[in-house]
Amino acid sequence: MSLLEIDSLAKSYGSVTALRSTSFSVRSGEIFGFVGSNGAGKTTTMRIMLGVLSPDGGEVRWDGRPIDHAVRRRIGYMPEERGLYPKMKVGEQLVHLARLHGLPKADAVAAMERWTETLGVAERRGDEVQKLSLGNQQRVQLAAALVHDPDILVLDEPFSGLDPVAVDVMSGVLREQASRGVPVVFSSHQLELVEVLCDRVGIIKDGAMVAAGGIDELRDVGRPRWVVDGPAAGTPAGAWMADVAGAVPVEGAGTRTVFELTAEGAEQGVLRAALALGPVHELARVRPTLTELYRDAVAGRDEATDATGTAGTTGTTGTTGTTGTTGTTGTTGTTTSEATA
Ligand SMILES: Nc1ncnc2c1ncn2[C@@H]1O[C@H](COP(=O)(O)OP(=O)(O)OP(=O)(O)O)[C@@H](O)[C@H]1O
């Protein structure tokens, strides 16, 4: 099992601090989603991984050793600015790139044929790249990252601008690569997609990771939240559950009351109390979506930064917050905790 480690990267462009202390790791076979606002530092991190930029501090390791030229040649990279020769034909270009990575001619041609087929651009092999639609150029760009059968995949916003079918094709390829044991890192602003595709995510803000971990792990941090749909929520919300030990109502609307558990299993007491008052339509665990976690983590970092004057802790941030799965609306997050991984 191989491990790609990004350890405490720091980088400034003149007076602009792009990365403060960015760390995360990706195991072989894992898909890691790298998310953050515009200018947060994702592309800078990826360029450092590729060796296109040198960090001011920190390092990137592969299997415990600082990443070197030989390992970097085994990375499949899809740069944000895209890097294809516009006037070169698709097929020639992919063969050329595979040859640059050392593949013999026949293997390079076979790889070009395979990837153009898989990615749905086989019929465009004879066309200049600049004549393709942007989405098809992106498919070719992914083929370019894959033709040398890389050991690591680093993709900068591979999904931006793709139609839904292309998103499915791209997702399938990333899953297939991960199932072969390749660690896959990609950046994206499409959080719903990241949520379904990734094993783990990292949220970066102002050059520092504010949350990193398994999606379920991040969603489960904090007190468990539940929603019960039955008795009128009332004012204050959930007053009807005041006598139930281990459950604290946090908000309510109509007949729905969201509550947090301070004791394991206390939702059963809430259910009994609710049934004593009338029919119960739903009792369900509520977990925040990645979008809600993202909002909490980014807002939480603002508060932490304001309070301490620093920003730069890397690790697992536990953010709990709003409802995601049950249709309750208008809820707000409550706790933000942070621990170094
Ligand atoms: N060549 C450069 N010269 C000066 N500043 C730069 C340069 N490249 C990036 N920056 C700055 O570094 C910071 C991080 O930029 P970066 O491109 O890494 O962010 P990003 O997370 O990839 O953003 P986006 O989601 O918009 O692609 C930003 O403030 C950006 O303006």
Q: How far is the CA of 101 from the centre of ligand 1 (A)?
A: 28
Q: How far is the CA of 79 from the centre of ligand 1 (A)?
A: 13
Answer whether residue 146 is part of any domain: yes
> Which residue out of 6, 9, 16 has the highest number of ligand 1 atoms within 8 Å of its CB and is therefore the one to mutate?
16
Q: How far is the CA of 295 from the centre of ligand 1 (A)?
A: 21
- Please give the residue range of the domain that contains residue 22: 3-219
Q: Into how many domains does the chain fold?
A: 2
Answer whether residue 295 is part of any domain: no
Residue 249: what pLDDT? 96
> Which residue out of 24, 37, 42, 189 has the highest number of ligand 1 atoms within 8 Å of its CB and is therefore the one to mutate?
42
C-alpha 323/C-alpha 96 separation (Å) is 50
CA 17 vs CA 55, 125, 214: distances in Å = 11, 42, 28
Max Cα separation, the chain? Answer: 76
Same domain, 262 and 208: no
* SS (HEC) of 207-228: CEEEEEEEHHHHHCCCCCEEEE
pTM of the model: 0.80
Residue 333: what pLDDT? 32
Answer whether residue 301 is part of any domain: no
Task: Tell me which of 176, 200, 219 is where a domain ends.
Answer: 219
Residue nearest to atom 26 of ligand 1 (CA): 38
Answer whether residue 337 is part of any domain: no
**Which ligand 1 atom sits nearest the alpha carbon of residue 157?**
27
Residue 318: what pLDDT? 34
User: What is the DSSP annotation of 77-116?
Assistant: EE-TT----TTSBHHHHHHHHHHHTT--HHHHHHHHHHHH
Q: Where are the alpha helices (DSSP H) in 4-153?
A: 42-50, 69-72, 90-100, 105-118, 134-146
Burial tier of 297 (Cβ tally within 10 Å: 0-12, 13-18, 19+): buried
By three-state DSSP, how is residue 157 classified?
coil
Residue 3: what pLDDT? 93
By three-state DSSP, how is residue 293 classified?
helix
Answer whether residue 27 is part of any domain: yes
Q: How far is the CA of 122 from the centre of ligand 1 (A)?
A: 34
Q: Which of 101, 74, 109, 96 is nearest to 4 (CA)?
A: 74
C-alpha 283/C-alpha 3 separation (Å) is 41
Answer whether residue 319 is part of any domain: no
**Do residues 249 and 236 make contact, with C-beta atoms less than 8 angstroms apart?**
yes
Q: What are phi and psi of 22, to 5 degrees?
A: -100, 125
Q: Which uninterrupted H or E stretch holds 339?
A: strand 336-340
Same domain, 172 and 255: no
Residue nearest to atom 1 of ligand 1 (CA): 13
Residue 216: what pLDDT? 86
Q: How far is the CA of 9 from the centre of ligand 1 (A)?
A: 14
Answer whether residue 163 is part of any domain: yes
Q: Which of 104, 100, 86 is nearest to 145 (CA)?
A: 100
Same domain, 212 and 126: yes
Task: Tell me which of 219, 242, 267 is where a domain ends.
Answer: 219
C-alpha 140/C-alpha 96 separation (Å) is 13
Residue 300: what pLDDT? 60
Q: Which residues contact 333 (CB under 8 A, 6 or more apart)?
A: 288, 292, 295, 296, 319, 320, 321, 322
**DSSP state letter for 239:** G
Same domain, 161 and 228: no
Answer whether residue 330 is part of any domain: no
**DSSP state letter for 267:** H
Return the number of other C-beta atoms located less than 10 Å from residue 304's C-beta: 17
Q: How far is the CA of 201 from the centre of ligand 1 (A)?
A: 20
**Which ligand 1 atom sits nearest the alpha carbon of residue 80?**
27
Which protein residues touch ligand 1 with a CB less than 6 Å away? 13, 16, 18, 36, 38-44, 80
From first to last of its 341 residues, the chain has per-residue pLDDT tens of 789 999 999 999 999 999 999 999 999 999 999 999 999 999 999 999 999 999 999 999 999 999 999 999 999 999 987 778 999 999 999 999 999 999 999 999 999 999 999 999 999 999 999 999 989 999 999 999 999 999 999 999 999 889 999 999 999 999 999 999 999 999 999 999 999 999 999 999 999 999 999 988 888 878 899 999 999 998 899 999 999 999 999 999 999 999 999 999 999 999 999 999 999 999 999 988 898 888 888 876 444 444 333 333 333 333 333 333 333 333 333 222 333 33
